[in-house]
Structure 1
Amino acid sequence: MSMTTFWTYDYACALHEEWKFLRRSRWTKVKALYIMTRYLPFFLIVMHLYLNFAPIEDPNKCQMLINVYSSFSQISIICSECFFMIRTYVLWNSNRIVLVGLLSTAFAMVVTSVSIRFATTATSYFTTSAIPGTPSCPSRSSSVLYFISFIFLFVFQLVLIILTLTRAIQSWRSTKGPLQAILVKHNIFYYICGLFLSAVNVLVPALFPNSPYYTALELFQVCILAILATRMHLHLWHLDQHMHSSDALIYISMSDMSPADCTV
Protein backbone atom coordinates (compact mmCIF):
# COMPACT_ATOMS: atom_id res chain seq x y z
CA MET A 1 0.00 0.00 0.00
CA SER A 2 2.86 2.37 0.76
CA MET A 3 4.40 1.64 -2.65
CA THR A 4 1.04 2.36 -4.29
CA THR A 5 0.82 5.68 -2.44
CA PHE A 6 4.39 6.62 -3.36
CA TRP A 7 3.90 5.77 -7.03
CA THR A 8 0.63 7.71 -7.21
CA TYR A 9 2.23 10.74 -5.56
CA ASP A 10 5.15 10.70 -8.00
CA TYR A 11 2.79 10.38 -10.95
CA ALA A 12 0.73 13.34 -9.73
CA CYS A 13 3.87 15.47 -9.27
CA ALA A 14 5.10 14.77 -12.81
CA LEU A 15 1.70 14.83 -14.51
CA HIS A 16 2.04 18.33 -16.00
CA GLU A 17 5.49 17.71 -17.51
CA GLU A 18 4.52 14.24 -18.68
CA TRP A 19 1.35 15.44 -20.37
CA LYS A 20 3.35 18.11 -22.18
CA PHE A 21 5.83 15.48 -23.33
CA LEU A 22 3.10 13.10 -24.54
CA ARG A 23 1.32 15.85 -26.50
CA ARG A 24 4.31 17.58 -28.09
CA SER A 25 6.90 14.87 -28.68
CA ARG A 26 7.02 12.94 -31.94
CA TRP A 27 6.02 9.30 -31.99
CA THR A 28 9.26 7.35 -31.93
CA LYS A 29 10.46 4.03 -30.56
CA VAL A 30 11.79 5.84 -27.50
CA LYS A 31 8.41 7.40 -26.81
CA ALA A 32 6.75 3.98 -27.03
CA LEU A 33 9.41 2.65 -24.66
CA TYR A 34 8.69 5.55 -22.29
CA ILE A 35 4.97 4.78 -22.18
CA MET A 36 5.62 1.10 -21.49
CA THR A 37 8.20 1.87 -18.81
CA ARG A 38 6.02 4.49 -17.15
CA TYR A 39 2.74 2.61 -16.94
CA LEU A 40 3.73 -1.04 -16.60
CA PRO A 41 4.44 -0.67 -12.83
CA PHE A 42 0.79 0.34 -12.34
CA PHE A 43 -0.20 -3.12 -13.50
CA LEU A 44 2.46 -4.75 -11.32
CA ILE A 45 1.31 -2.89 -8.21
CA VAL A 46 -2.32 -3.93 -8.77
CA MET A 47 -1.29 -7.52 -9.39
CA HIS A 48 0.99 -7.54 -6.33
CA LEU A 49 -1.88 -6.34 -4.14
CA TYR A 50 -4.16 -8.99 -5.63
CA LEU A 51 -1.65 -11.77 -4.98
CA ASN A 52 -1.28 -10.73 -1.35
CA PHE A 53 -4.86 -9.92 -0.44
CA ALA A 54 -7.15 -11.99 -2.66
CA PRO A 55 -8.15 -15.49 -1.48
CA ILE A 56 -6.57 -17.86 -4.00
CA GLU A 57 -6.94 -21.58 -3.37
CA ASP A 58 -6.33 -23.00 -6.85
CA PRO A 59 -2.62 -23.97 -7.21
CA ASN A 60 -2.77 -23.75 -11.01
CA LYS A 61 -4.21 -20.25 -10.91
CA CYS A 62 -1.65 -19.29 -8.33
CA GLN A 63 1.25 -20.52 -10.46
CA MET A 64 -0.11 -18.81 -13.55
CA LEU A 65 -0.41 -15.47 -11.72
CA ILE A 66 3.12 -15.84 -10.35
CA ASN A 67 4.49 -16.47 -13.84
CA VAL A 68 2.61 -13.48 -15.28
CA TYR A 69 3.79 -11.22 -12.48
CA SER A 70 7.39 -12.38 -12.85
CA SER A 71 7.28 -11.88 -16.63
CA PHE A 72 5.98 -8.32 -16.44
CA SER A 73 8.43 -7.54 -13.66
CA GLN A 74 11.28 -8.62 -15.93
CA ILE A 75 9.88 -6.57 -18.83
CA SER A 76 9.62 -3.48 -16.63
CA ILE A 77 13.23 -3.78 -15.46
CA ILE A 78 14.44 -4.33 -19.03
CA CYS A 79 12.55 -1.25 -20.27
CA SER A 80 13.99 0.90 -17.47
CA GLU A 81 17.53 -0.30 -18.10
CA CYS A 82 17.11 0.40 -21.82
CA PHE A 83 16.90 4.11 -21.02
CA PHE A 84 20.14 3.99 -19.05
CA MET A 85 21.76 1.96 -21.81
CA ILE A 86 20.63 4.46 -24.47
CA ARG A 87 21.86 7.35 -22.34
CA THR A 88 25.27 5.73 -21.95
CA TYR A 89 25.43 5.01 -25.68
CA VAL A 90 24.60 8.66 -26.44
CA LEU A 91 27.23 9.92 -24.00
CA TRP A 92 29.81 7.88 -25.91
CA ASN A 93 28.82 9.60 -29.15
CA SER A 94 27.10 6.50 -30.58
CA ASN A 95 30.25 4.41 -30.33
CA ARG A 96 29.41 1.07 -31.98
CA ILE A 97 31.87 -0.85 -29.82
CA VAL A 98 30.11 0.42 -26.70
CA LEU A 99 26.73 -0.45 -28.23
CA VAL A 100 27.76 -4.00 -29.12
CA GLY A 101 29.25 -4.51 -25.66
CA LEU A 102 26.14 -3.22 -23.90
CA LEU A 103 23.75 -5.24 -26.06
CA SER A 104 25.79 -8.43 -25.59
CA THR A 105 25.92 -7.96 -21.82
CA ALA A 106 22.22 -7.10 -21.66
CA PHE A 107 21.26 -10.15 -23.73
CA ALA A 108 23.29 -12.49 -21.53
CA MET A 109 21.81 -10.91 -18.41
CA VAL A 110 18.22 -11.19 -19.64
CA VAL A 111 18.51 -14.81 -20.78
CA THR A 112 20.16 -15.93 -17.54
CA SER A 113 17.81 -13.96 -15.29
CA VAL A 114 14.66 -15.18 -17.04
CA SER A 115 15.87 -18.79 -16.90
CA ILE A 116 16.60 -18.55 -13.17
CA ARG A 117 13.33 -16.83 -12.34
CA PHE A 118 11.08 -19.29 -14.14
CA ALA A 119 13.06 -22.25 -12.82
CA THR A 120 12.59 -21.07 -9.24
CA THR A 121 9.02 -19.74 -9.39
CA ALA A 122 7.99 -23.36 -9.89
CA THR A 123 8.88 -23.91 -6.22
CA SER A 124 6.62 -21.11 -4.95
CA TYR A 125 4.18 -22.06 -2.27
CA PHE A 126 0.98 -20.93 -0.57
CA THR A 127 1.21 -18.66 2.43
CA THR A 128 -1.24 -16.81 4.61
CA SER A 129 -2.28 -13.51 3.09
CA ALA A 130 -2.39 -10.14 4.78
CA ILE A 131 -5.97 -11.03 5.77
CA PRO A 132 -5.64 -13.54 8.66
CA GLY A 133 -6.77 -17.04 7.79
CA THR A 134 -7.00 -16.38 4.05
CA PRO A 135 -4.73 -18.43 1.74
CA SER A 136 -2.81 -16.54 -0.92
CA CYS A 137 0.21 -17.02 -3.12
CA PRO A 138 2.63 -14.10 -3.08
CA SER A 139 5.00 -14.24 -6.06
CA ARG A 140 7.91 -15.45 -3.95
CA SER A 141 10.05 -18.51 -4.21
CA SER A 142 11.61 -20.30 -1.28
CA SER A 143 14.86 -20.53 -3.23
CA VAL A 144 17.51 -17.84 -2.88
CA LEU A 145 18.42 -18.58 -6.51
CA TYR A 146 15.40 -16.46 -7.45
CA PHE A 147 17.41 -13.40 -6.49
CA ILE A 148 20.60 -14.31 -8.29
CA SER A 149 19.05 -12.42 -11.21
CA PHE A 150 19.67 -9.25 -9.22
CA ILE A 151 23.38 -10.06 -9.18
CA PHE A 152 23.41 -9.96 -12.98
CA LEU A 153 21.43 -6.72 -12.89
CA PHE A 154 23.92 -5.29 -10.41
CA VAL A 155 26.84 -6.20 -12.68
CA PHE A 156 25.15 -4.66 -15.71
CA GLN A 157 24.39 -1.43 -13.82
CA LEU A 158 27.98 -1.35 -12.58
CA VAL A 159 29.20 -1.52 -16.18
CA LEU A 160 26.93 1.40 -17.08
CA ILE A 161 28.23 3.44 -14.15
CA ILE A 162 31.87 2.77 -15.07
CA LEU A 163 31.25 3.85 -18.67
CA THR A 164 29.34 6.96 -17.58
CA LEU A 165 31.94 7.91 -14.98
CA THR A 166 34.69 7.50 -17.54
CA ARG A 167 32.87 9.84 -19.89
CA ALA A 168 32.17 12.32 -17.07
CA ILE A 169 35.83 12.42 -16.04
CA GLN A 170 36.88 12.96 -19.65
CA SER A 171 34.42 15.85 -19.89
CA TRP A 172 35.62 17.27 -16.57
CA ARG A 173 39.25 17.22 -17.69
CA SER A 174 38.45 18.97 -20.97
CA THR A 175 36.15 21.66 -19.51
CA LYS A 176 37.87 22.09 -16.11
CA GLY A 177 34.43 22.74 -14.63
CA PRO A 178 33.08 21.66 -11.21
CA LEU A 179 33.10 17.86 -10.97
CA GLN A 180 29.75 17.74 -9.19
CA ALA A 181 28.09 19.71 -12.00
CA ILE A 182 29.57 17.36 -14.59
CA LEU A 183 28.27 14.32 -12.70
CA VAL A 184 24.79 15.85 -12.47
CA LYS A 185 24.79 16.57 -16.21
CA HIS A 186 25.73 12.97 -16.88
CA ASN A 187 22.87 11.74 -14.64
CA ILE A 188 25.30 9.65 -12.60
CA PHE A 189 23.14 9.82 -9.48
CA TYR A 190 20.28 8.07 -11.30
CA TYR A 191 22.67 5.23 -12.07
CA ILE A 192 23.95 5.06 -8.48
CA CYS A 193 20.44 4.87 -7.06
CA GLY A 194 19.58 1.90 -9.29
CA LEU A 195 22.85 0.18 -8.37
CA PHE A 196 22.13 0.65 -4.66
CA LEU A 197 18.68 -0.93 -4.98
CA SER A 198 20.15 -3.94 -6.78
CA ALA A 199 22.72 -4.32 -4.00
CA VAL A 200 19.92 -4.30 -1.42
CA ASN A 201 18.01 -7.02 -3.31
CA VAL A 202 21.19 -9.12 -3.39
CA LEU A 203 22.22 -8.62 0.25
CA VAL A 204 18.85 -9.02 1.97
CA PRO A 205 18.22 -12.63 0.77
CA ALA A 206 21.85 -13.49 1.57
CA LEU A 207 21.80 -12.02 5.08
CA PHE A 208 18.17 -12.77 5.94
CA PRO A 209 17.16 -15.93 4.04
CA ASN A 210 13.83 -16.21 5.88
CA SER A 211 12.81 -12.59 5.38
CA PRO A 212 9.16 -12.16 4.25
CA TYR A 213 9.89 -8.91 2.41
CA TYR A 214 11.52 -10.23 -0.77
CA THR A 215 8.71 -9.35 -3.17
CA ALA A 216 8.19 -5.95 -1.53
CA LEU A 217 11.86 -5.07 -2.15
CA GLU A 218 11.66 -6.36 -5.71
CA LEU A 219 8.53 -4.34 -6.47
CA PHE A 220 10.13 -1.30 -4.86
CA GLN A 221 13.14 -1.57 -7.16
CA VAL A 222 10.98 -2.12 -10.24
CA CYS A 223 8.96 1.01 -9.48
CA ILE A 224 11.95 3.17 -8.53
CA LEU A 225 13.88 2.15 -11.66
CA ALA A 226 10.87 3.09 -13.78
CA ILE A 227 10.60 6.45 -12.01
CA LEU A 228 14.32 7.17 -12.40
CA ALA A 229 14.38 6.20 -16.09
CA THR A 230 11.27 8.18 -17.05
CA ARG A 231 12.25 11.21 -14.95
CA MET A 232 15.67 11.24 -16.61
CA HIS A 233 14.07 11.06 -20.04
CA LEU A 234 11.59 13.83 -19.23
CA HIS A 235 14.41 16.04 -17.98
CA LEU A 236 16.48 15.47 -21.12
CA TRP A 237 13.50 16.01 -23.41
CA HIS A 238 12.56 19.31 -21.75
CA LEU A 239 16.21 20.38 -21.83
CA ASP A 240 16.33 19.49 -25.52
CA GLN A 241 13.18 21.54 -26.18
CA HIS A 242 14.56 24.49 -24.25
CA MET A 243 17.79 24.43 -26.24
CA HIS A 244 15.81 24.23 -29.47
CA SER A 245 13.76 27.25 -28.48
CA SER A 246 16.96 29.09 -27.57
CA ASP A 247 18.45 28.28 -31.01
CA ALA A 248 21.25 26.26 -29.44
CA LEU A 249 23.69 24.74 -31.89
CA ILE A 250 25.05 21.86 -29.82
CA TYR A 251 22.83 19.47 -27.90
CA ILE A 252 21.94 15.82 -27.42
CA SER A 253 18.45 14.89 -28.56
CA MET A 254 17.55 12.03 -26.25
CA SER A 255 13.97 12.00 -27.54
CA ASP A 256 15.11 11.23 -31.09
CA MET A 257 18.14 9.09 -30.11
CA SER A 258 20.32 11.30 -32.33
CA PRO A 259 23.39 12.35 -30.37
CA ALA A 260 25.42 15.40 -31.28
CA ASP A 261 29.10 16.04 -30.75
CA CYS A 262 28.71 17.33 -27.21
CA THR A 263 27.42 15.68 -24.08
CA VAL A 264 24.73 17.12 -21.82
Structure 2
Amino acid sequence: MDNPPPTSAVWEVQILAYAQIALFAFFLCEYIHLLPSEIKDIWFSRWNGRLCIINLIYIICRYTPFINFALTVYELSVSLIDGRHCRSLGLFASWICLIELECAQFAFFLRVYALWQDNRVVKLSLTILTSCLLGAGFLLQALNAHSPAARGDSFIPSCASISPGDNSVRSALWGMVAMVIFDSILMLMAIIAKFKFNYQFNSNSLAKKVYQDTIYYFILNFFIGIAAILISEKSPGPLRQLSGGLGPVATPCLACRVLLRLKQYKETGTTTVEVTDNPMRFGQNPRFRSDETFVDSSLR
Protein backbone atom coordinates (compact mmCIF):
# COMPACT_ATOMS: atom_id res chain seq x y z
CA MET A 1 0.00 0.00 0.00
CA ASP A 2 1.29 3.42 -0.92
CA ASN A 3 -0.51 5.26 1.87
CA PRO A 4 -0.40 4.22 5.52
CA PRO A 5 -3.66 3.45 7.28
CA PRO A 6 -5.36 6.45 8.86
CA THR A 7 -4.44 5.51 12.42
CA SER A 8 -0.75 5.25 11.48
CA ALA A 9 -0.73 8.59 9.66
CA VAL A 10 -2.50 10.37 12.51
CA TRP A 11 -0.04 8.86 14.98
CA GLU A 12 2.91 10.08 12.90
CA VAL A 13 1.52 13.63 12.79
CA GLN A 14 0.95 13.56 16.55
CA ILE A 15 4.52 12.39 17.16
CA LEU A 16 5.74 15.18 14.86
CA ALA A 17 3.77 17.75 16.85
CA TYR A 18 5.10 16.47 20.19
CA ALA A 19 8.67 16.45 18.86
CA GLN A 20 8.33 20.03 17.63
CA ILE A 21 7.03 21.05 21.06
CA ALA A 22 10.02 19.34 22.69
CA LEU A 23 12.42 21.17 20.37
CA PHE A 24 10.77 24.48 21.18
CA ALA A 25 10.98 23.75 24.92
CA PHE A 26 14.69 23.00 24.54
CA PHE A 27 15.24 26.18 22.54
CA LEU A 28 13.29 28.27 25.05
CA CYS A 29 15.31 26.92 27.98
CA GLU A 30 18.53 27.66 26.09
CA TYR A 31 17.29 31.16 25.27
CA ILE A 32 16.39 31.94 28.89
CA HIS A 33 19.70 30.51 30.11
CA LEU A 34 21.77 32.73 27.78
CA LEU A 35 19.57 35.82 28.02
CA PRO A 36 21.60 37.56 30.79
CA SER A 37 24.82 37.07 28.82
CA GLU A 38 23.08 38.20 25.65
CA ILE A 39 21.86 41.42 27.24
CA LYS A 40 25.32 42.18 28.61
CA ASP A 41 27.53 41.08 25.72
CA ILE A 42 25.28 41.82 22.73
CA TRP A 43 22.67 44.47 23.41
CA PHE A 44 24.73 46.64 25.77
CA SER A 45 28.02 46.20 23.90
CA ARG A 46 29.60 48.32 21.21
CA TRP A 47 27.94 48.16 17.81
CA ASN A 48 30.80 49.30 15.64
CA GLY A 49 33.28 47.72 13.28
CA ARG A 50 33.93 44.02 13.60
CA LEU A 51 31.87 43.57 16.74
CA CYS A 52 28.79 44.66 14.82
CA ILE A 53 29.22 41.61 12.57
CA ILE A 54 29.13 39.28 15.56
CA ASN A 55 26.09 41.05 16.99
CA LEU A 56 24.13 40.81 13.75
CA ILE A 57 24.96 37.14 13.21
CA TYR A 58 24.02 36.40 16.80
CA ILE A 59 20.62 38.08 16.44
CA ILE A 60 19.86 36.14 13.25
CA CYS A 61 20.85 32.82 14.84
CA ARG A 62 18.98 33.56 18.05
CA TYR A 63 15.67 34.95 16.82
CA THR A 64 14.95 33.29 13.47
CA PRO A 65 13.99 30.02 15.25
CA PHE A 66 11.04 31.90 16.77
CA ILE A 67 9.81 32.54 13.22
CA ASN A 68 10.25 28.87 12.36
CA PHE A 69 8.32 27.72 15.40
CA ALA A 70 5.48 30.12 14.61
CA LEU A 71 5.32 28.73 11.07
CA THR A 72 5.40 25.18 12.40
CA VAL A 73 2.47 25.83 14.74
CA TYR A 74 0.54 27.30 11.83
CA GLU A 75 1.36 24.34 9.58
CA LEU A 76 0.17 21.86 12.21
CA SER A 77 -3.07 23.71 12.88
CA VAL A 78 -4.22 25.24 9.59
CA SER A 79 -6.86 23.37 7.61
CA LEU A 80 -5.65 21.73 4.43
CA ILE A 81 -7.72 23.72 1.95
CA ASP A 82 -5.12 24.51 -0.68
CA GLY A 83 -2.03 22.37 -1.08
CA ARG A 84 -0.22 25.18 -2.90
CA HIS A 85 -0.68 27.41 0.13
CA CYS A 86 0.97 24.82 2.37
CA ARG A 87 3.72 24.33 -0.18
CA SER A 88 4.49 28.07 -0.27
CA LEU A 89 4.51 28.16 3.50
CA GLY A 90 6.99 25.30 3.64
CA LEU A 91 9.28 26.95 1.10
CA PHE A 92 9.29 30.19 3.07
CA ALA A 93 10.20 28.28 6.24
CA SER A 94 13.00 26.45 4.41
CA TRP A 95 14.50 29.77 3.24
CA ILE A 96 14.46 31.03 6.83
CA CYS A 97 16.21 27.83 7.94
CA LEU A 98 18.83 28.23 5.21
CA ILE A 99 19.66 31.78 6.30
CA GLU A 100 20.04 30.89 9.96
CA LEU A 101 22.11 27.79 9.22
CA GLU A 102 24.47 29.72 6.94
CA CYS A 103 24.92 32.36 9.65
CA ALA A 104 25.55 29.63 12.22
CA GLN A 105 28.22 28.08 10.01
CA PHE A 106 29.87 31.49 9.67
CA ALA A 107 30.18 31.59 13.46
CA PHE A 108 32.13 28.32 13.36
CA PHE A 109 34.21 29.80 10.53
CA LEU A 110 35.22 32.68 12.84
CA ARG A 111 36.24 30.31 15.60
CA VAL A 112 38.55 28.27 13.36
CA TYR A 113 40.00 31.39 11.76
CA ALA A 114 40.94 32.71 15.21
CA LEU A 115 43.06 29.61 15.80
CA TRP A 116 45.01 30.15 12.57
CA GLN A 117 46.23 33.63 13.56
CA ASP A 118 45.22 35.51 10.40
CA ASN A 119 46.96 33.05 8.04
CA ARG A 120 46.29 34.31 4.51
CA VAL A 121 46.17 30.89 2.85
CA VAL A 122 43.75 29.60 5.47
CA LYS A 123 41.71 32.77 5.16
CA LEU A 124 41.38 32.26 1.41
CA SER A 125 40.66 28.54 1.80
CA LEU A 126 37.96 29.11 4.42
CA THR A 127 36.41 31.85 2.31
CA ILE A 128 36.24 29.56 -0.73
CA LEU A 129 34.89 26.69 1.37
CA THR A 130 32.23 28.88 2.95
CA SER A 131 31.27 30.34 -0.44
CA CYS A 132 30.87 26.82 -1.84
CA LEU A 133 28.62 25.85 1.07
CA LEU A 134 26.58 29.02 0.63
CA GLY A 135 26.24 28.44 -3.11
CA ALA A 136 25.30 24.80 -2.63
CA GLY A 137 22.66 25.77 -0.09
CA PHE A 138 21.00 28.27 -2.41
CA LEU A 139 21.24 25.87 -5.37
CA LEU A 140 19.60 23.02 -3.46
CA GLN A 141 16.96 25.39 -2.16
CA ALA A 142 16.21 26.55 -5.70
CA LEU A 143 15.87 22.93 -6.83
CA ASN A 144 13.58 22.28 -3.89
CA ALA A 145 11.40 25.24 -4.87
CA HIS A 146 10.82 23.76 -8.34
CA SER A 147 10.12 20.20 -7.20
CA PRO A 148 6.51 19.08 -6.66
CA ALA A 149 5.31 18.00 -3.24
CA ALA A 150 3.62 14.67 -2.67
CA ARG A 151 -0.06 14.95 -1.86
CA GLY A 152 -0.87 14.10 1.74
CA ASP A 153 -3.72 12.18 3.29
CA SER A 154 -7.03 13.99 3.04
CA PHE A 155 -8.24 12.68 6.39
CA ILE A 156 -5.61 14.78 8.21
CA PRO A 157 -6.72 18.44 8.05
CA SER A 158 -3.22 19.88 8.37
CA CYS A 159 -0.34 21.04 6.19
CA ALA A 160 1.77 18.41 7.96
CA SER A 161 -0.01 15.76 5.89
CA ILE A 162 1.75 17.00 2.74
CA SER A 163 4.99 15.07 2.71
CA PRO A 164 7.94 16.39 0.69
CA GLY A 165 8.44 15.01 -2.79
CA ASP A 166 11.38 12.79 -3.64
CA ASN A 167 13.37 15.66 -5.14
CA SER A 168 12.84 17.78 -2.03
CA VAL A 169 13.95 14.94 0.22
CA ARG A 170 17.10 14.38 -1.84
CA SER A 171 17.91 18.10 -1.89
CA ALA A 172 17.51 18.36 1.87
CA LEU A 173 19.60 15.23 2.37
CA TRP A 174 22.44 16.52 0.21
CA GLY A 175 22.30 19.83 2.06
CA MET A 176 22.72 18.07 5.39
CA VAL A 177 25.57 15.96 4.02
CA ALA A 178 27.31 19.11 2.75
CA MET A 179 27.06 20.72 6.18
CA VAL A 180 28.47 17.62 7.89
CA ILE A 181 31.41 17.63 5.46
CA PHE A 182 31.93 21.37 6.04
CA ASP A 183 31.94 20.90 9.83
CA SER A 184 34.34 17.96 9.55
CA ILE A 185 36.79 20.03 7.48
CA LEU A 186 36.64 22.92 9.95
CA MET A 187 37.18 20.57 12.89
CA LEU A 188 40.20 19.02 11.12
CA MET A 189 41.64 22.48 10.45
CA ALA A 190 41.22 23.37 14.12
CA ILE A 191 43.14 20.25 15.14
CA ILE A 192 45.89 20.97 12.60
CA ALA A 193 46.21 24.54 13.91
CA LYS A 194 47.03 23.22 17.38
CA PHE A 195 50.03 21.27 16.11
CA LYS A 196 51.17 23.78 13.48
CA PHE A 197 51.47 26.69 15.88
CA ASN A 198 52.54 24.54 18.85
CA TYR A 199 50.36 26.36 21.34
CA GLN A 200 51.58 26.00 24.92
CA PHE A 201 48.25 25.27 26.55
CA ASN A 202 48.58 26.71 30.03
CA SER A 203 45.64 26.21 32.36
CA ASN A 204 44.43 29.78 31.80
CA SER A 205 45.61 30.18 28.21
CA LEU A 206 43.19 31.83 25.83
CA ALA A 207 44.37 29.48 23.07
CA LYS A 208 43.38 26.51 25.22
CA LYS A 209 39.92 27.94 25.82
CA VAL A 210 39.34 28.72 22.15
CA TYR A 211 40.66 25.33 21.01
CA GLN A 212 38.63 23.31 23.53
CA ASP A 213 35.47 25.24 22.72
CA THR A 214 36.05 24.74 19.01
CA ILE A 215 36.44 20.97 19.21
CA TYR A 216 33.54 20.63 21.65
CA TYR A 217 31.12 22.56 19.46
CA PHE A 218 32.22 20.86 16.25
CA ILE A 219 31.76 17.39 17.71
CA LEU A 220 28.25 18.29 18.89
CA ASN A 221 27.34 19.85 15.56
CA PHE A 222 28.74 16.85 13.69
CA PHE A 223 26.47 14.44 15.59
CA ILE A 224 23.51 16.79 15.14
CA GLY A 225 24.05 16.60 11.37
CA ILE A 226 24.37 12.81 11.45
CA ALA A 227 21.17 12.54 13.50
CA ALA A 228 19.31 14.74 11.01
CA ILE A 229 20.49 12.56 8.12
CA LEU A 230 19.37 9.37 9.89
CA ILE A 231 15.97 10.86 10.68
CA SER A 232 15.54 11.90 7.06
CA GLU A 233 16.47 8.45 5.78
CA LYS A 234 14.77 6.18 8.32
CA SER A 235 11.63 8.03 9.39
CA PRO A 236 8.33 7.41 7.57
CA GLY A 237 5.91 9.97 6.21
CA PRO A 238 5.51 13.25 8.13
CA LEU A 239 8.18 12.24 10.65
CA ARG A 240 10.78 13.03 8.00
CA GLN A 241 10.10 16.68 8.71
CA LEU A 242 11.88 16.27 12.05
CA SER A 243 15.18 16.23 10.16
CA GLY A 244 14.44 19.75 9.01
CA GLY A 245 13.70 20.91 12.55
CA LEU A 246 16.64 19.47 14.46
CA GLY A 247 19.47 21.30 12.69
CA PRO A 248 17.82 24.77 12.54
CA VAL A 249 17.31 24.59 16.32
CA ALA A 250 20.43 22.92 17.68
CA THR A 251 23.03 24.40 15.30
CA PRO A 252 22.06 28.07 15.88
CA CYS A 253 22.04 27.40 19.64
CA LEU A 254 25.63 26.19 19.40
CA ALA A 255 26.53 29.14 17.17
CA CYS A 256 25.11 31.60 19.71
CA ARG A 257 27.30 30.09 22.39
CA VAL A 258 30.32 30.38 20.07
CA LEU A 259 29.62 34.05 19.39
CA LEU A 260 29.05 34.88 23.06
CA ARG A 261 32.35 33.23 23.94
CA LEU A 262 34.15 35.26 21.28
CA LYS A 263 32.65 38.44 22.70
CA GLN A 264 33.61 37.47 26.24
CA TYR A 265 37.18 36.66 25.20
CA LYS A 266 37.39 39.95 23.36
CA GLU A 267 36.30 42.08 26.31
CA THR A 268 37.68 40.16 29.31
CA GLY A 269 40.83 38.44 27.99
CA THR A 270 43.88 39.19 30.13
CA THR A 271 46.12 36.16 29.69
CA THR A 272 48.85 35.57 27.12
CA VAL A 273 48.91 33.07 24.30
CA GLU A 274 52.36 31.57 23.97
CA VAL A 275 53.79 30.07 20.80
CA THR A 276 57.14 28.46 20.18
CA ASP A 277 60.05 30.09 18.38
CA ASN A 278 59.50 27.92 15.33
CA PRO A 279 59.27 30.13 12.22
CA MET A 280 55.74 30.78 11.02
CA ARG A 281 54.82 31.47 7.42
CA PHE A 282 54.06 34.84 5.89
CA GLY A 283 56.64 36.57 8.05
CA GLN A 284 54.80 35.88 11.30
CA ASN A 285 57.12 34.80 14.08
CA PRO A 286 55.62 36.23 17.27
CA ARG A 287 56.85 35.16 20.64
CA PHE A 288 53.71 36.38 22.34
CA ARG A 289 50.29 37.41 21.16
CA SER A 290 47.88 39.31 23.33
CA ASP A 291 44.38 37.98 23.82
CA GLU A 292 42.84 40.97 22.10
CA THR A 293 45.01 40.44 19.03
CA PHE A 294 44.22 36.74 19.02
CA VAL A 295 40.47 37.28 19.12
CA ASP A 296 40.64 40.20 16.70
CA SER A 297 42.08 37.86 14.07
CA SER A 298 38.74 36.07 13.92
CA LEU A 299 37.01 39.26 12.79
CA ARG A 300 39.35 40.44 10.05
Q: Quickly name the TM-score band, shorter chain normalised.
A: 0.7 to 0.9
Conserved in 2, the CA contact under 8 Å of 1:127 and 1:135? no
User: In the alignment, residue 23 of structure 2 is paired with which amino acid?
Assistant: M
Conserved in 2, the CA contact under 8 Å of 1:84 and 1:229? yes
Which of 222, 241, 248 aligns to 1:195? It is 222
**Residue 22 (str. 1) matches residue 42 (str. 2):** yes
- C-alpha separation between the residues in 1 aligned to 2:261 and 2:272? 18
Which of 269, 273, 290 aligns to 1:250? It is 290
TM-score, normalised with respect to structure 2: 0.74
Tell me by how many angstroms 1:96 deviates: 2.2
- C-alpha separation between the residues in 2 aligned to 1:63 and 1:53? 15
Alignment of 1:168-183 (within 5 A): 168-170=194-196, 173-175=198-200
Cα deviations by residue, 1:160-183 (Å, 9 ceiling, x for unpaired): 001111113345x442658xx976
Alignment of 1:81-100 (within 5 A): 81-100=105-124
Which of 114, 131, 136 aligns to 2:159? It is 136
Alignment of 1:26-65 (within 5 A): 26-27=46-47, 28-65=52-89
Tell me by how many angstroms 1:138 deviates: 6.3
Q: 1:85 to 1:140 in 2, by over 3 A?
A: farther
Tell me by how many angstroms 1:134 deviates: 1.2
Q: Partner of 1:114 in structure 2?
A: 138
- C-alpha separation between the residues in 2 aligned to 1:69 and 1:236? 29
Conserved in 2, the CA contact under 8 Å of 1:116 and 1:145? no
User: In the alignment, residue 241 of structure 2 is paired with which amino acid?
Assistant: T
Q: 1:174 to 1:102 in 2, by over 3 A?
A: closer
- C-alpha separation between the residues in 2 aligned to 1:126 and 1:84? 38
Report sequence identity in percent.
18
Conserved in 2, the CA contact under 8 Å of 1:67 and 1:118? no
Tell me by how many angstroms 1:106 deviates: 2.0
Q: Partner of 2:148 in structure 1?
A: 123
Q: Give unmatched runs, 5+ long, in structure 2.
A: 1-20, 274-288
- C-alpha separation between the residues in 1 aligned to 2:83 and 2:58? 35
Conserved in 2, the CA contact under 8 Å of 1:45 and 1:219? no
- C-alpha separation between the residues in 2 aligned to 1:104 and 1:170? 21
Cα deviations by residue, 1:27-55 (Å, 9 ceiling, x for unpaired): 11221111111111111111122112221
Which of 127, 130, 145 aligns to 2:170? It is 145
Conserved in 1, the CA contact under 8 Å of 2:180 and 2:226? yes
3-state SS of paired residue (1:116) = helix
Q: Partner of 1:11 in structure 2?
A: 31
Conserved in 2, the CA contact under 8 Å of 1:205 and 1:211? no
Q: 1:137 to 1:205 in 2, by over 3 A?
A: closer
Over the aligned positions, Cα root-mean-square deviation in angstroms equals 2.9
- C-alpha separation between the residues in 2 aligned to 1:253 and 1:4? 38
Q: Give unmatched runs, 5+ long, in structure 1.
A: none
- C-alpha separation between the residues in 2 aligned to 1:210 and 1:82? 32
Of structures 1 and 2, the larger Rg is shown by: 2
Tell me by how many angstroms 1:65 deviates: 0.8
Tell me by how many angstroms 1:234 deviates: 1.1
Conserved in 1, the CA contact under 8 Å of 2:104 and 2:255? yes
- C-alpha separation between the residues in 2 aligned to 1:194 and 1:139? 29
Q: 1:68 to 1:253 in 2, by over 3 A?
A: farther
TM-score, normalised with respect to structure 1: 0.83
- Count of equivalent residues: 251
Q: 1:139 to 1:82 in 2, by over 3 A?
A: farther
Q: 1:137 to 1:259 in 2, by over 3 A?
A: same
Write out the 4+ residue segments of structure 1 that deviate beyond 6 Å after TM superposition. Answer: 246-249
